Chains A and B, each alone.
Chain A
C-alpha cells in the first residue's frame, strides 16, 4: 500500500513541480542568453539586472514550492472533502503521514538539484568555470586544514539538512493536525498553533541566553579551551547534537499528528 500511496503522492507533486522546474530552467537559459549580447548601454544593463532579479525570484519560488505544495496537499488531502476518500482507503494514518513527508522531502532534494542545475545554466561559460575553479580551490584549502574530517563534515551536514527538512515539514503537519481539534476556523487555529509554538521556542531561546549570560566566565574559559583543543571532534559533536535534536523533534511531531488522526479524527 505504501508503494501505491507513494506513487500517487509523487504524481501529485510532479504535476506542479515539473512546470515550476521548467520555468526556472527557462528563466536561467533566458538570463544566460541575455548575457551573450553584453554591451555597454543603459538598456542592456537594465535588462541584464532585471534578468538576474527574475532569476533570483524564480529560484526562491522554486525552493519554496515543495514546502507550500506539501502543506496544501496535507491539509486538502486529509482534512477537506478529499479526506473522505483518503481515510476510507485501507491505509493507516501512519502510512499517510510517512508517505506525505517523505514525498515532500524528496521533492525538496530534487528542487535543490534543479536549482543548482539552473545556476549552472545561468552561469554556463567563463563564469561557470571560474565558480568551479573557486570551489575546487576552497575544497583544497579546507581539506588541508581539516584532512579526512572534511568528508565526514559534508556527510554529517547533508544528513542534518535532511533531518531538519523532515522535522520542519512534520512541524507544519502537526500544526495543521492540532488545528483540526478546534470546532471552528481550523485553518486559522493551525496558523495560531504555529505562531504559538514559534513564540514558545523564542521564550526558550531567551531563557537559554540568560543561562549562558549568568554562567561564570571561568566556566566558559574552560569550555573554550576544550573546544580549541578538540575543535575537529567538537564540530562532529555539534552536528551530532543537532541531528539528535532534529530527529527527536521529528519523532515527537510525527507522534502527535499520528495520535490525533488515529484517535480524534473528526471530518465534519
Chain B
C-alpha cells in the first residue's frame, strides 16, 4: 500500500476561530477510513482543505505528492454535506456534466444505479425529494473510479433504510484500490465497514488507529471508544 494523502501541520483559522490546529497524518491507499468527531470538530474544514475549497492558514495537504489542484481533482471524488447541483438541470444533464469533466466517470454505472432507485434521467433535480437528491449526488460520486473518495456526512439526516442504501452503495461501488474517507458522527452505522479511524476534536487530531488496533488495545468497539473519548 502506498501513501495517498498527507496532511502536514495543517492549520485553518476563520478570523479568530481556530478550526484546525496543526493537524498531521497520512493515509494509505486501499482503506476505508472514518473521520470521526462531534459537530464543529473540524471534519468539514479538513475535507474542504483536501478538496482545495479552502486555503490552509499554515501547513499543506498533499495527494500523491501534489497540492490540491487540477491534478488532484482528477483523483479525488468529493461528496459535500449539502446538495450542490444546479436544481434546473435534469438528472441526465448532470450525469453528462460529470462524464464530460471526469475521465474516470462511468455513466453506464450511474444510469444503472439511478434505474434501480426508480429515478428517471429526464427528471429535473428540483422535482426530486431531498433524499433522492442526496442519493443522486452519492451515485455521481461513486460512479467514478477515483483514488480517493471523500464523503462528508453521507449518512447524516437520513432514515435507517436510506443509511443502509448509502453504505451499500459505497461498499459495492468504490474502487478497491482507492481509499474512502468518510466523515460522520454516526459511528455505529458504519463501524463494520471501517478499516481505520481518525478522531478529531476542536481542530485537533486525537487519535489515528486501525479498527483492529482499537479492539485489541482498548478492548472496545469504535463506537464505545468514541463515546468514551467525546463524553460531555
Contacts and interface: CB of A to CB of B under 8 A. Distances in A.
A103 to B, nearest CB: 15
B226 interface: no
Interface in B18-63: 48, 51-55
B76 interface: yes
Contacts of B55: 263-266
Nearest to A7: B100
B88 interface: yes
Contacts of B73: 88-91
Secondary structure at the B interface, as helix, strand, loop or mixed, is: loop
Nearest to B76: A88
Given A81-B83, A82-B85, A263-B55, 17 more contacts: A4-B101, A7-B100, A8-B97, A8-B100, A82-B84, A84-B53, A84-B80, A85-B85, A87-B53, A88-B73, A89-B101, A91-B70, A91-B101, A265-B52, A267-B53, A267-B54, A268-B54
B174 interface: no
Contacts of B82: 81, 84
Given A83-B53, A183-B14, A90 B74 contact: yes
Given A81-B83, A89-B73, A91-B70, A266 B54 contact: yes
A90 B70 contact: yes
Contact of B100 (A4, A85, A263, A264): A4
Contacts of B86: 82
Interface in B61-85: 69-71, 73-74, 76, 78, 80, 82-85
A258 to B, nearest CB: 14
B14 A268 contact: yes
What's the interface size class on A, roughly? Answer: 20 to 34
B101 to A, nearest CB: 5
What's the interface size class on B, roughly? Answer: 20 to 34
A183 B78 CA distance: 25
14 contacts: A4-B100, A7-B100, A81-B82, A81-B84, A84-B78, A84-B84, A85-B84, A87-B52, A88-B52, A88-B53, A90-B71, A90-B102, A91-B70, A267-B53
B15 interface: yes
A1 B88 contact: no
Nearest to A89: B101
A267 B48 contact: yes
Contacts of B70: 90-92
Interface of B: 14-15, 48, 51-55, 69-71, 73-74, 76, 78, 80, 82-86, 88, 97, 100-102
Interface in A234-268: 263-268
Secondary structure at the A interface, as helix, strand, loop or mixed, is: loop
Contact of A15 (B85, B88, B97): B88
A268 B80 CA distance: 12
A31 to B, nearest CB: 31
B138 to A, nearest CB: 14
Interface in A4-37: 4, 7-8, 15
Nearest to A91: B70
B102 to A, nearest CB: 7
A219 B210 CA distance: 83
Contacts of A82: 84-86
Contacts of A88: 51-53, 73, 76, 78
Contacts of B76: 88
Residue among A85, A87, A91 with max Cβ neighbours from chain B (10 Å): A85
A32 to B, nearest CB: 33
A180 to B, nearest CB: 12
B20 to A, nearest CB: 13
Contacts of A263: 55
Contacts of A8: 97, 100
A84 B1 CA distance: 30
A65 B100 CA distance: 28
A100 to B, nearest CB: 15
A90 B85 CA distance: 17
Contacts of A1: 101
A124 to B, nearest CB: 35
